[in-house]
Amino acid sequence: MQCKMLALITCAILCAFLHSAAGRAVEFAYLGCFVDGSPRDLNGLYGVSRIGPFGVGSSTASNSTAMSREYCADVCSLGGFAYFGVQAGVQCFCGNSYGSHGAVAESNCGSTCSGNAAQKCGGSWRNSVFALTYLS
């Protein structure tokens, strides 16, 4: 019983941290699979080295063990971005526009998210793109 209670408390603390880390509540909706290229399609993190508690390098917030749609939504919501994209299972991109390199078949976005095996997180140079909606 104590283990169960401890697990519930730990979960509640983690959920509160994730919500406060993002700073605001968001919902997101899937828009499709899109090509990335040079310049990056979702380029809102260019020149940024940190966004809240998340480190950024080469215009992407990467996480080889915890990437998920929710993780990327948290990162991009801190910057107030309209869209986010997850790529190659481990990368997160943010921006206010998307689709400059075109859309591709859904089969191009089949990489499993490193932090949630039940989710797909883009592919090689392919973004699974989502629209963020900010709740009041």
**pLDDT per residue over 7-38, tens digit each?**
333 333 333 333 434 457 899 999 999 999 99
Residue 23's pLDDT is 58
Nearest to 101 by CA among 78, 85, 90, 113: 85
Give one word for 69, left, alpha or beta, with left for phi > 0 and alpha for psi -120 to 50: alpha
3-class state of residue 23 by DSSP = coil
pLDDT in tens, 36-56: 999 999 999 999 999 999 999
* Domain residue ranges in the chain: 2-134
Residue 25's pLDDT is 84
Measured distance CA(41)–CA(93) in Å, rounded: 9
pLDDT > 70? residue 59: yes
Percent of the chain with pLDDT over 90: 81
Q: What is the pTM of this model?
A: 0.83
Alpha-carbon radius of gyration of the chain: 15
Percent of the chain with pLDDT over 70: 83
Mean pLDDT of the chain: 87
